[in-house]
Chain A
Amino acid sequence: EDKVVQSPLSLVVHEGDTVTLNCSYEVTNFRSLLWYKQEKKAPTFLFMLTSSGIEKKSGRLSSILDKKELFSILNITATQTGDSAVYLCAVEWGGSEKLVFGKGTKLTVNP
């Protein structure tokens, strides 16, 4: 059965800290891995990764994929209270239109 596992499930840090969120997957015929941010409402798209070793970056957020070891990390540097959210990892595979989501990592950034 295809699955996506995120760790940790929750994380509490102070403003200014750097965090690393993990996502491992077991999916046949992998096509892409996506990261979303969910703040009590609509998940919003962060990154889509298809190739190993190529870092995607957007401001203080960055992500990289390792297709050999079947995992991805999402880094957030200099965290702010506005980064508090649930971060979702999802995997898409060939031959299907559906995304398989992990349970998410709940990040809380305290001032």
Chain B
Amino acid sequence: NAGVMQNPRHLVRRRGQEARLRCSPMKGHSHVYWYRQLPEEGLKFMVYLQKENIIDESGMPKERFSAEFPKEGPSILRIQQVVRGDSAAYFCASSPARNTGELFFGEGSRLTVL
């Protein structure tokens, strides 16, 4: 049973470009979470999605960031017009249901903005 799969593992972008990060949850999991980890910082919640619905995006910057989890295919975190401050590790996690507490994390996508 494959775990949470994220790709790409590493992504380099120049300022102003777009970054797209993909996450396939564990089989049977319909709840997806995105967290960002800055150097020397803890994981910070960004957004929580279920299939085709954004449930909580309170941790997502209002501009340039968007997320989706379509009926078919992986969840996508999209960052438009990237800036150096977007450089971070972006982790996706999934769970089989709400309020289970335990999240299963992917290995993260490390974004570097030049």
Chain A interface (Cβ < 8 Å from any Cβ of B) = 4, 31-32, 34, 36, 41-45, 48, 50, 88, 90, 92, 96-104
**Given A32-B101, A34-B102, A42-B108: A98 and B40 interface contact (C-beta under 8 Å):** no
B111, CB-defined interface residue at 8 Å: no
Cα A92 to Cα B48 in complex, Å, equals 14
Which B residues are CB-close (under 8 A) to A92? 101
> Is the Cβ of A97 less than 8 Å from the Cβ of B59?
no
Which B residues are CB-close (under 8 A) to A43? 43, 91, 105
> Is the Cβ of A97 less than 8 Å from the Cβ of B105?
no
Q: How large is the interface on B (under 10, 10 to 19, 20 to 34, 35 or more residues)?
A: 20 to 34
* Residue ID in chain A nearest B48 by CB atoms: A97
> Is the Cβ of B55 less than 8 Å from the Cβ of A97?
yes
> Is the Cβ of A41 less than 8 Å from the Cβ of B45?
no
Cα A104 to Cα B105 in complex, Å, equals 16
> Is the Cβ of B40 less than 8 Å from the Cβ of A45?
no
Interchain pairs with CB closer than 8 A, number: 57
> Is the Cβ of B41 less than 8 Å from the Cβ of A42?
no
Cα A61 to Cα B78 in complex, Å, equals 38
> Is the Cβ of A31 less than 8 Å from the Cβ of B3?
no
Among B45, B55, B59, B104, max chain A CB count under 10 A is at: B45
Cα A100 to Cα B33 in complex, Å, equals 13
Which B residues are CB-close (under 8 A) to A50? 101
Which A residues are CB-close (under 8 A) to B98? 97
Cα A44 to Cα B103 in complex, Å, equals 9
Digit string of B32-50 for contact with A (CB within 8 Å is 1, else 0)?
A: 0101000011111100100
User: Can you name 20 extra interface pairs (CB under 8 A) apart from A42-B106, A88-B42, A101-B42?
Assistant: A34-B102, A42-B3, A42-B91, A42-B105, A42-B107, A43-B43, A43-B91, A45-B103, A45-B104, A97-B33, A97-B48, A97-B55, A98-B33, A98-B48, A99-B43, A99-B45, A99-B103, A101-B35, A103-B40, A104-B42
